[in-house]
Structure 1
Amino acid sequence: MVQTTATRLKNRLRRTDGQLQGILKMVDEGRDCQDILTQLAAVRSSVERIMGVVVAENVKRCITDDQLDTDQQAQLEAALELVVKNH
Structure 2
Amino acid sequence: MDYSDEIKNRLKRMEGQVRGILRMMEEDKHCKDVVSQLSAVRNAADKAIATIVAANLEKCILEEQAIGRDSSKLVKEAIELLVKSR
Q: What TM-score, normalized by structure 2, do the two folds share? A: 0.69
Selected match of 1:32 from 30, 33, 48: 30
Gaps of 5+ in 2: 66-81
Counterpart of 1:52?
50
Identical columns (%): 38
Runs of 4+ with >3 A deviation: none
Could you report, residue by residue, the CA deviation over 1:35-73 in whole angstroms, capped at 9, with x for unpaired residues?
0000000000000000000110011111228x4xxxxxx
Root mean square deviation, CA, Å: 2.4
Residue 15 of structure 2 is matched in structure 1 by 17
Q: TM-score, normalised by structure 1?
A: 0.68
- Greater RCO (CA < 8 Å, at least 6 residues apart): 1
Work out the CA distance in 1 between the residues paired with 2:32 and 2:43. 17
- Provide structure 1 residue ranges, at least 5 long, that are not aligned to the other structure: 68-82
How many residue pairs are counted as aligned between the two chains?
67
